[in-house]
């Protein structure tokens, strides 16, 4: 699942939690507020983790590109020396 799908899933989950917290009539408003805060915190942590993973993936892709460019450069050098 890519970063945009994870982010969308998290936003949908947070919206679902907010709707449920708003519909719940069995506790004081503070209790619902705490649940919303906890859900928002978890969503924030999930987005942060997804961002870290995306950053790692970009770094790995950059490394692969660097290696491929280096190989291509060596092949070009070999062909131009002939």
Q: Report pLDDT digits (tens) over 31-53.
A: 788 888 899 998 889 988 898 88
Kindly report the backbone phi and psi dihedral angles of residue 25, in degrees, each rounded to the nearest multiple of 5, phi listed first. Answer: -110, 5
Element (H or E) spanning 52, and its range?
helix 29-81
- Measured CA to CA, the distance from residue 66 to residue 74 in angstroms comes to 12
Look at residue 64 in the predicted model and tell me its pLDDT: 92
Task: For residue 51, give every residue at least 6 positions away whose Cβ sits within 8 Å of its Cβ, in sequence order, or none.
Answer: 3
Question: What would the two tokens of residue 41 be?
Answer: 């915190």
**Percent of the chain clearing pLDDT 70 (strictly above):** 83
- Residue 65 clears pLDDT 90, i.e. is over it: yes
What mean pLDDT comes out for the span 16-23? 70
Q: How far is CA 68 from CA 22, 54, 62, in A?
A: 54, 21, 10
Domain extent, residue 21, equals 3-81
Q: What is the pTM of this model?
A: 0.46
Number of domains in the chain: 1
Is pLDDT at 3 greater than 60 in this prediction? Answer: no
């Amino acid at each position: 699942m890519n970063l945009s799908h994870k982010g969308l899933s998290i936003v949908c989950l947070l919206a679902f939690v907010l709707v449920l917290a708003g519909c719940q009539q069995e506790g004081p408003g503070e209790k619902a507020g705490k649940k919303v805060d906890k859900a928002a915190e978890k969503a924030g942590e999930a987005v942060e983790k997804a961002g870290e993973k995306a950053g790692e993936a970009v770094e790995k892709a950059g490394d692969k590109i660097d290696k491929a460019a280096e190989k291509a450069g060596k092949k070009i050098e070999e062909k131009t020396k002939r």
